Amino acid sequence: MKPRALFWFRRDLRLNDNPGLARAVREYDEVIPCFIFDPELLKSPDTGARRVAFLLASLESLSKNLEHVGSYLIVRQGKPEQELAALARESRASALFWNGDLEPYALKRDEGIRQVCLGLGIKAVEVADQCIQAPGQVLKGDGTPYAVFTPYSKAWRLQPVPSLCPRPRSIKSPVGIKTVPLPSLKELGHTLDVPLPAVGEKAAHDMLKSYMQSGVESYQSKRNFPDLDATSRLSPHLRFGTISPRTVHAAAMAAKEKNPRASKEIEVFLSELIWRDFYKTILFYFPHVTTGSFRPVYNDLEWENDEALFQAWCEGRTGYPMVDAAMRQLNQTGWMHNRLRMIVSSFLTKDLLVDWRKGERYFMKQLYDGDLAANNGGWQWAAGTGTDAQPYFRIFNPASQAEKYDPEGRFIEKYIPEINSLTYPAPIVDHGSQRIKTLAMFKKVRG
């Protein structure tokens, strides 16, 4: 009998540059690609309907892509330990491959899977994939992880970037393995309330291609203006792995080569990929950030947590146009421009004095690209509690941010058509006095 391996898809829903899949196909005659719906993850409060919808559509696309290379996707629902064990027994596979996931839940789960494999006497193979530079690759001279971005990024740039893995031309899979149809969104207990962006590997690659042809060469100059829509919009695809970060990196390097005059602009785009690695690495080495401040002293901050103010923020009716337009973009599209993420997170924490964790959770509920590491890093940065946070006294003024980054009010008008009518609310707080309160709140814990 030909040796068989299972390949377990998780956050790597692609055939291109999929290191774990490429290795399984190279080393085994037959490969059984599978995906497990984990009820534990599906019921988590951080799992928004939007991402479940994006996941389902991406799996549908992946399933078709697998059929094009002669294979198919096995789908199961249940605890991964049990389902994978059952699948291994049924298929008489002798190995299980997967790409590593750095989140605390995944690390613990995957350790359990390793034990299951040990018990079954099959090989468990984890391959690094999520970062361009895996956590252990970028360390300080003394072997400990960085906690400041700039020196991290300098060390990151000294490392060779791993090359891309070949896309399997054909995958041989045994027939007769039991599978279930992909569940519908409704069956998983969710409904979608916003349009679904383009999904699947093809869509992701098309987006990358067109952004590299026109867009990336002016990334630095245009990225802060939400009305210009001048960013790549690849974040949900990076989140679910319908495109790999190495593929994006390689494309940007090629664009830089082709257009040296734009190299500074493109370098800023590349540094965003380094930020992605940085926050994943922080989460890996300092998992306590998921529940509290990176610096314990800031766990003592006395947030006011006024529920009515929080609700007004969520619904985009704070009376601060830039904040409200941004929140409405999030609510109506499942995505928010990065400049606006900074503005609304500064506003929630430092103008409304609401705990950053409430905002973090709301973002996770609404974002297509919601990712624990990046979202947590961004929120702790804005709140001033993080590894490499901005100083606590650097408090965004929502009005001057609007003047700077939406000078003609086009973005605001797009999401707040009633901006000039009486139905638009007056500001729910006074920025000047809230700012002073926040400074006092921080002073109290800083002694």
Partner DNA sequence: TTTTGAGTTGTTCGA
Partner DNA sequence: GTCGAACAACTCAAA
142: Cα within 13 Å, side-chain hemisphere:
3
C-beta of 41 vs 439, nearer to DNA: 439
C-beta of 311 vs 400, nearer to DNA: 400
Instruction: Give the sheet arrangement for strand 123-127, strand by strand.
Output: 74-77, 30-37, 4-8, 95-99, 123-127
Whole-number minimum distance, CB 259 to DNA, in Å? 22
Residues 6+ apart with CB under 8 A from 135: 102, 145, 280, 281, 284, 285
Contact, 110 vs 98, CB < 8 A?
Answer: yes
C-beta of 154 vs 178, nearer to DNA: 154
Whole-number minimum distance, CB 340 to DNA, in Å? 11
Whole-number minimum distance, CB 436 to DNA, in Å? 9
C-beta of 286 vs 424, nearer to DNA: 286
C-beta of 182 vs 439, nearer to DNA: 439
C-beta of 31 vs 323, nearer to DNA: 323
SS3 34: strand
Separation between Cα atoms, residue 66 and residue 182, nearest integer Å: 15
Whole-number minimum distance, CB 377 to DNA, in Å? 7
Whole-number minimum distance, CB 113 to DNA, in Å? 32
Nearest 5°: the CA angle 143, 147, 149 is 110
Instruction: List the one residue out of 78, 100, 92 whose CA is nearest residue 8.
Output: 100
Separation between Cα atoms, residue 189 and residue 202, nearest integer Å: 28
Q: Where are the alpha helices (DSSP H) in 162-298?
A: 201-213, 219-222, 235-240, 245-258, 263-285
Q: Which residues are catalytic?
A: 272, 275, 303, 338, 356, 379
CB neighbours of residue 346 within 10 Å? 23
Whole-number minimum distance, CB 395 to DNA, in Å? 6
Residue 381, H or E segment: helix 372-383
Binding-site ranges for DNA (CB under 7 A): 140-141, 144, 146-152, 154-155, 224, 271-272, 275, 338-339, 342, 378, 381, 388, 390-391, 393-397, 400-401, 404, 431-432, 435, 439, 443
Q: What is the largest CA-CA distance in the chain?
A: 76
SS3 123: strand
